Structure 1
Amino acid sequence: MVLKSHEAATDPVVTDPGLYRVVFENARVRVLEYRDHPGDHTHPHRHPDSVLVPLTAFERRLTSGGRTAEVSLAAGQVRWVAAQEHAGENIGTTDSHGLFIELKEPPPAPLGPSA
C-alpha cells in the first residue's frame, strides 16, 4: 500500500508500532492485529473504512475532533467502522486483542435518482 505523507504519519502501524501490526495485505485489503493492556493508549491515527473483529472484549475511550465516546464490545461482536481519525485508550480491566480489516477500495458512488 502506497501512503501519502499525511496518511503515513497517521498510519496506526507507524504511530503505535507496539500495538498494531500488519498480518495480511493485498491490493484490496490490509488486516491489522491490535493488542494492548489496560491503561494503554494510542496516538492520533487514521483508519479507512474497516471491519473490526474483537477477539477479546473491548472497552475503549475514543477521542476524535474534540469529542469523546466510550465503546464496549464483546469478543466476536463484529463492527463496521467508517473511515476516521481518532486516539484510543483501553479503559477496561483486561487486555484487548482484535483485527481491523481495512478496505483499500474507495466507497461506491452514491446511487442517482434513476437507480
Structure 2
Amino acid sequence: MAPDVYKVLFENDRVRLIEARLQPGATTAMHHHRDNLVYNLADGKVAFTDESGETIEVSLAAGEALWFPAVDHSTHNTGSTEVHSLLFELK
C-alpha cells in the first residue's frame, strides 16, 4: 500500500488497523484490501476504481462507519478536504 497514505497502527493474527490520510486531488495506485470496516474521522469525497475500471464516488461523513468486502482498487480524493479514516481489516 501507499506509505504516504496508509499507516499501520496495530496488527495481530486476526485484525489490522490502518490510518488513511489522502490529500485533496491525491490518488493511490491499484492495491488490495481485505474485508474491512471503515470509520471516517472527517467529511470527504472519494472515488474508488476497481480492476474492471468501474468507478464509484462516495461521500464520507465524519463519524460514519462503512463495511467493504475485500477489493482491489485505486483511490482518488475528489473533494476539497483531506480524507481521514481508520480501516479495520479482518484476517
Task: Give the deviation of 1:58 after TM superposition.
Answer: 2.6
1:97 corresponds, among 69, 84, 88, to 84
Point out 4+ residue stretches in structure 1 off by more than 6 angstroms. Answer: none
Task: Give the deviation of 1:66 after TM superposition.
Answer: 1.3
TM-score where L is the length of structure 2: 0.95
Matched, 1:69 2:62: no
SS at match of 1:42: strand
Percent identity over paired residues: 43
Task: Give the deviation of 1:79 after TM superposition.
Answer: 0.3
- Structure with more helix by fraction: 1
- Structure with more strand by fraction: 2
SS at match of 2:88: strand
The higher relative CO (CA closer than 8 Å, separation ≥ 6) is in: 2
Alignment-mate amino acid for residue 24 of structure 2? P
How far apart, CA to CA, are the structure 2 residues paired with 1:78 and 1:34?
Answer: 14
Matches within 5 A, 1:33-112: 33-64=19-50, 65-104=52-91
Residue 108 of structure 1 is matched in structure 2 by none
Task: Give the deviation of 1:73 after TM superposition.
Answer: 1.5
TM-score where L is the length of structure 1: 0.76
Structure 1 gap segments, 5+ residues each: 1-11, 105-115
How far apart, CA to CA, are the structure 2 residues paired with 1:26 and 1:62?
Answer: 27
Q: Is the 8 A contact 2:44 2:80 kept in 1?
A: no
Task: Give the deviation of 1:76 after TM superposition.
Answer: 1.0
Paired residues, what number? Answer: 90
Residue 27 of structure 1 is matched in structure 2 by 13
How far apart, CA to CA, are the structure 2 residues paired with 1:73 and 1:43?
Answer: 20
How far apart, CA to CA, are the structure 1 residues paired with 2:59 and 2:11?
Answer: 27
